[in-house]
Structure 1
Amino acid sequence: MAEHELVFHTNPMSRGRIVRWMLEELGVEYRTVVQEYGGSMKSAEYLAINPMGKVPAIEHRGVVVTEAAAICAYLADAFPQAGLAPATDDPRRGPYLRWLFFAAGPVEAAVTARAMGLLAPPEKAGMVGYGSYDQTIDALEGAAASASPWLLGERFSAADVYVGGQVDFGLGFQSIPARDAFTAWAERLRAREAYQRAQALDDALMPARG
C-alpha cells in the first residue's frame, strides 16, 4: 500500500455504505477492497486490520480506523478542505459531536436491541445508555425535525452522513418509524449527488441474483 493511499474495506451489504457515501462527499481518491462474509472478513490478513472481523475499516497514512462513526469523524478531520467538520473553536463542534456519538451509541444500541427482542425492561432502563427505544427515537426525531436543512443548519457535515445514514438504513429496514421528520430529512439526503454516486457504486458490487 502506498504511503498516502486511502484503502476502504467494505461489503455492499454492510454499514460500509455509510462510509462509501462519506468518501464520495469528500471527493478524494480511494481504493475499495470488498471483504466477504464468512470468508476474507475472517482471514488472518484482515483480522490483523480489524480483530473484530467486521467492515467497514479504512487504512490511511499508516493508521487503521474502524467503526463507521469513527471513520466518518476521522475522514472529516483528515480532509478539512471538504468542510464536513466544524473546527474545534466553532460552537457547532459540540452539536456535531453530540449527534455523531448519540447515533453510534443510544440509537445503534436501541435499534439493535429492539430487532433482537432484547430491550431492557422499564425497571432497568437506567442501566442502559438508550433508556428506552421510544425515548431514543423521540430524541432522534427532535434532531431530524431541527435539521434545516441539515443538523448544523445550512452547513452539511459528517454528522448528516452518519446520523442520516442510520436513519436512511432504519427507514429501509423499518427499524426506525417513518415519522415525517425522518422521511423529509432522508429525502434531502438521498437527493445529494454524492449519496447517489455511493449507492450506485455499492449496488454494482451486490452479488447477482440467479
Structure 2
Amino acid sequence: MSYQFSFSFIEKYWPLLFDGTLATIRMSIIVTVLGFILGTLCAVASSSRHTSLRILVAIYVESIRNTPLLVQLFLVYFGLASLGLKYSAETSALIGLTINVGAYSSEIIRAGLQAIHPGQLEAADTLGLSRLQVLAGVMLPPALEKVYPALVSQYVLLMLATSVASQISAEELTGAASRIQSITFRSFEVYIVILGIYLALSFAMRGLFRLLGLLIFPRQRRLGTNL
C-alpha cells in the first residue's frame, strides 16, 4: 500500500475548519434552546384535557420521529421555497433541526411528567394551586430532573446531526470538510480531523451539561449524580 498520509492541509485551511466548528456550536446552542422550549410545550399539551390538542401533538411527534431528518430538512429548504418562503441554508437548517429535536424532547419530557407521583398533584390541588402553578412549581422541576440525562444525550445527538445540514449547503463543520477535501483530495485525512473535532465537541458538551445539571438540580449535586 503506497498511500502517504499528509495533514499539511490543516496549516492552510484551519480558518475554514474553525469557522465550521463555530457554526456547528452556534447551530447546536440555538436548536437546543428552541427545541427544549418546543418540546416542553408539546409535552405539556400532550397531557392537556383538550383531546384535539393531544391529537395534534401526537400527529406532529409521530410524523417527525418516523421520517428521516434529511427529508425534513429538504422539505423546509426546498419545499417552503416552492411556496415562496425562501430562507437561507442555515436558517432552514435551524428550523428543520428545531422541529426534529422538539418532537424527541417532547416524548422525553412527557415521560418525566408521567412519572410524577399522583400524591404530589393531589397535595397541590389541596393547596388550591392553579394549573400553571402546579405545572411550573410541582410537575416540571422534578420531571426535568428525572429525564435530564436522556435530554443531554438527545442534545449531543442533535449536535452530531447538524452534519446533515451540509446536504442543503449549510456552512457547518461537515460542510467545511467537504469543501476542503474537494480541493485537497485528502478525504481520509480530512475526515479523521473532523472525527476528532466532533469527539471533542461531544465530550465538551456532556461536560458543560453535567455542570449545568449540578447547578440547576441541587439533589444531583448532593448525590454526585453523573450523566
TM-score (norm: length of structure 2) = 0.28
Larger radius of gyration, structure 1 or 2?
2
Which structure is higher in strand share?
Answer: 1
Q: Which has the higher contact order (CA 8 A, sep 6+)?
A: 2
Which structure is higher in helix share?
Answer: 2
TM-score (norm: length of structure 1) = 0.29
